[in-house]
Amino acid sequence: MSMQTLSTSRLDAVVTEGTGRGFARIRLSDGHAITLKTQPGAPAAEEVFLSPGLTAPDTEAWGSEDSWEDWLTGGTLGNESGMFLDVPTEALRALIVQHGGEHNDQECENPAPRAEAATAEPTGPDLLAEIADLRGVFEHGYGADDIRRVFGRIYDAGGPYLVCVWDLADDYGFGGNSEFYAEDEDGRLSEIQPDVYGWLTGEQETSGPVDTWVCARVTGLAEFAATDDRHNYAKTER
């Protein structure tokens, strides 16, 4: 069966519309699933999860495997995380076709295990257990890329959408002093409990209950000079 005879309409729609801050799942005909995050019209998906048993081709397109989760967990995951970065759309399309194309029922509530883990929204104790290994991840400092990855993981696990507001952004990226906030769907910022920062830097054993993380609404920070649209803002731009 050739690539031309198999529909990838679900992939086409996801790539055209983007996934915003979350993920989209594509079920394959053979029961596997691909879960991805991408921006509208982007030539490659930012992050891609493959369900257990679904193997990525040994090609350059799939060469950027995410190693940060492996590092956060002390190197225990090896190459089994199933997460890849910057995967070209055509590489995704080829993998879908290789596995028989897209499933006719994309709305099924029984996704493959990896996709279910990536799209579920645990809260409270479940979320804390899932992200427990993030304690102390900022012990030796952090940059914009660290913020994107750690805050992205918290949000994808079902936590609030956290952002870091830096003093400035220039050709070298974000820098200066920084503060953490929570952002709602309307772009409004709120303070977060100091315990969250203390937990991420390793100064505290726990972050406190997730439902207590977000505090009072912040005023005067409605507009920023720069953003990467992935958890980082800057007050000024040079």
Residues 112 and 42 in one domain: yes
Say if residue 153 is in the same domain as residue 232: yes
**Are 115 and 103 a contacting pair, CB within 8 Å?**
no
Domain of 99, in residue numbers: 3-119
Over residues 197-226, the pLDDT tens digits come to 999 999 988 888 888 999 999 887 768 899
Q: 95 and 186: one domain?
A: no
For 34-69, the pLDDT digits (tens) are: 888 899 999 999 888 887 778 888 899 898 665 444
What pLDDT score was predicted for residue 69?
Answer: 44
| Residue finishing a domain among 85, 119, 153 | 119
Q: Are residues 109 and 135 in the same domain?
A: no
Least confident of 17-31, 72-86, 127-141, 223-237: 72-86
**In this structure, are 88 and 156 located in the same domain?**
no
Please tell me the total count of domains within the chain: 2
Whether residues 199 and 155 share a domain: the answer is yes
Please check whether residues 138 and 113 belong to one and the same domain.
Answer: no
Are 25 and 104 within one domain?
yes
Q: Which of 41, 45, 56 is nearest to 22 (CA)?
A: 45
pTM higher than 0.85, yes or no?
A: no
Q: Do residues 100 and 133 both lie within one domain?
A: no
Last residue within a domain, chosen from 77, 93, 119:
119
In terms of domains, do 65 and 86 share one? Answer: yes
Q: Domain boundary residue among 119, 140, 155?
A: 119
Residues 159 and 107 placed together within one structural domain of the fold: no
Going across the sheet that includes 33-37, the strands are: 24-27, 33-37, 44-50, 83-88
SS (H, E, C) 23-71: CEEEEECCCCEEEEECCCCCCEEEEEEECCCCCCCCCHHHCCECCHHHH
**130 and 233 in one domain?**
yes
